[in-house]
Amino acid sequence: MSEQRFNRTLIPRPKNRRRFKQLPVFGVLFGMLIIVGGTLFSFPSLLTYELISSAKDIPEIDVERSFPVTVFPSQKIIVENDKVEAFLLNSPGTQSAAVLDTKKAFTWFAVSISRTQLYRQVAGIAGIENLYVTIYSGYREEQVARAFGETLDWNAVQRKEFLKEASAKEPDLTEGIFVPGTYFVGVTDPSDVADITHERFLREIRARYGTTTEEQVPLDDALTIASLLQREAAGWDDMRIISGIIWNRLFIGMNLQIDATLQYAKASNKLGTPGKYWEIVVPKDKFIKSAYNTYQNKGLPPGPISNASIAAILAALNPKRTDCLFYFHDKYGKFHCSPTYEGHVALLIKAYGQGK
């Protein structure tokens, strides 16, 4: 599993707020940003743009359509549907990585700049009160609260209030209720921001999750598997095959043995470094006492471990048929899988010179 890092270096705030000598230097820069904030980011296509771990991870579906589903847990089968395959193959997830990376880079730039005091001063003069907050796929709820808190100047109490308000709107879900993407925020009250995030969850997840799909794969199960894929997969290319492996393990009653769940348990039990949520797993972590420890417990964990992208949800509902039960990524990010443990060990030895 490749550790994904989302830390960003922000442009520092001026130490002396009354020093406006910098304003002419940044005039063009902030002028462009203000224009962008009032025009480009007003289009829904960018407001709902999914900033996820890889540019290939972004298959979009029409808002009016339900999520397709080709796995039948009650029958323990995965089917192949030509229409679904064509939909996934021809989705925007196959667009040029360079084009999508440009969008990602620009959005990150806008979000970073909007956090600075100088931007807020200039934007306030221009009558623009909105700020940009980006939630990246794979974040857990504490990281979501931190992202909003850093931009909206929340203290620890306000961050907890935000999570409490958001959780109350989806009481059956412990995680996974924040749709990744860039939020255009014109309010600062935690309760109001929770309303904004929940509205997007309703629009982009609930509204697309039909009754038939719910009966076939309950939403909490789909979000849980999607959250595992978000943390385990290197991109859209292997998301669906890892989904197939996860379903294969569930079908035969095999423990999932997902390292990302150990990371979640480690941070939740405060056994890791404070403030770090996705630390590298070491052998002793397999014995952590937690319901989220999928090495020790059968079946799915109690709920999602992170907030998953639309792509990951699609992959959870539409896994690739495979006979593999074991997998890993090598040091170059290449995906390997095997139907047997012996084959898995042989691949590890080939890739790393050792394995078990």
What is residue 131's three-state secondary structure? Answer: strand
Percentage with pLDDT > 90 across the chain: 51
Instruction: Identify the helix (H) or strand (E) that includes residue 183.
Output: strand 181-185
Residue 138, Cβ density class (10 Å: 0-12 exposed, 13-18 middle, ≥19 buried) = buried
The gap from C-alpha 57 to its chain's centroid, in whole angstroms, comes to: 10
pLDDT of 54 > 60? The answer is no
The answer to whether 290 and 268 have CB atoms below 8 angstroms apart is: yes
pLDDT of residue 202: 95
Do 336 and 227 fall within a single domain? yes
Label residue 356 by pLDDT band (50, 70, 90): low
Residues sharing a CB contact under 8 Å with residue 86, sequence separation 6 or more, in sequence order: none
Tokens of 348: 């590890």
Q: Are residues 225 and 329 in the same domain?
A: yes
- Residue 214 domain flag: no
Of 325, 313, 346, 335, nearest in space to 257 by CA: 325
Q: Is residue 62 part of a domain?
A: no
CB-count burial class (<10 Å; 0-12, 13-18, 19+) for 302:
middle
Answer whether residue 13 is part of any domain. Answer: no
Each residue's pLDDT tens digit, 23-50: 343 443 444 443 344 333 332 222 222 3
What is the pLDDT averaged over residues 302-329? 94
Q: Is the pLDDT of residue 58 over 90?
A: no
- Asked whether residue 150 falls in the same domain as residue 186, the answer is yes
Are 108 and 179 spatial neighbours (Cβ–Cβ below 8 Å)?
no
The verdict on residue 158 lying in a domain is yes
Residue 170 lies in a domain: yes
| Residues in contact with 304: Cβ distance below 8 Å, sequence separation at least 6, in sequence order | 173, 174, 175, 176, 220, 223, 224, 226, 227
d(CA 206, CA 219): 9
Is 239 within a domain? yes
Range of the domain at 318: 71-91+219-352
Asked, for residue 198, whether it belongs to a domain, the answer is yes
Average pLDDT over residues 323-339: 89
Last residue of a domain, one of 207, 241, 270: 207
Exposure string of 91-127, with b = 16+ CB inside 10 Å and e = fewer, is: bebeeeeeebeebbeebbebbbbbbbebbbebbeeee
What Å distances lie between residue 118 and 19, 25, 38, 126, 156, CA to CA? 10, 12, 17, 12, 24
Burial class from Cβ neighbours inside 10 Å (0-12, 13-18, 19+) for residue 184 reads middle
- Residue 321 clears pLDDT 50, i.e. is over it: yes
CB 57 within 8 A of CB 185: no
| 123 and 197 belong to one structural domain | yes
Q: How sure is the predictor about 57, in pLDDT bands with cuts at 50, 70 and 90? A: very low
Query: What average pLDDT does range 115-134 have in this prediction?
Result: 57
**Residue 307 belongs to a domain:** yes
pTM of the predicted protein model: 0.74
Give the integer Cα–Cα distance in Å for 27 and 121.
Answer: 12
d(CA 346, CA 340): 10
Which tens digits make up the pLDDT trace of 125-166?
A: 444 457 889 999 999 999 999 999 999 999 999 999 999 999
Q: Which of 155, 146, 158, 151 minimizes the C-alpha distance to 120? A: 151
What are phi and psi for residue 61, nearest 5 degrees?
-130, 155
- Residue pLDDT, tens place only, 170-221: 999 989 999 999 998 888 999 999 999 999 999 999 999 988 899 999 999 9
Shared domain for 37 and 168, answered yes or no, is: yes
Chosen domain end from 207, 230, 264:
207
| Residue position matching structure tokens 């899988």 | 337
Q: How do residues 251-291 score in pLDDT, each as one tens digit?
A: 999 999 999 999 999 999 988 888 889 999 999 999 999 99
Judge if 166 and 189 occupy the same domain: yes
Same domain, 87 and 125: no
Q: Are the beta carbons of 84 and 68 closer than 8 angstroms? A: yes
> Where is pLDDT greater, at 293 or 351?
293
Is residue 9 very low, low, confident or very high in pLDDT (cuts 50, 70, 90)? very low
Number of domains in the chain: 2
Pair 38, 157 in one domain: yes
Contacts 24+ apart (CB under 8 A), 14-20: 14/117, 14/118, 17/117, 17/121
Same domain membership, residue 182 and residue 126? yes
239 vs 304: CA distance, rounded Å: 16
Same domain membership, residue 47 and residue 175: yes
Out of 160, 180, 207, a domain closes at 207
Q: CA-CA distance, 67 to 313, in Å (whole number)?
A: 9
Do 296 and 318 meet the contact criterion of CB atoms below 8 Å apart? no
Do 131 and 239 fall into the same domain? no
Q: Which helix (H) or strand (E) holds 133?
A: strand 131-135
For residues 28 and 163, membership in a common domain is answered with: yes
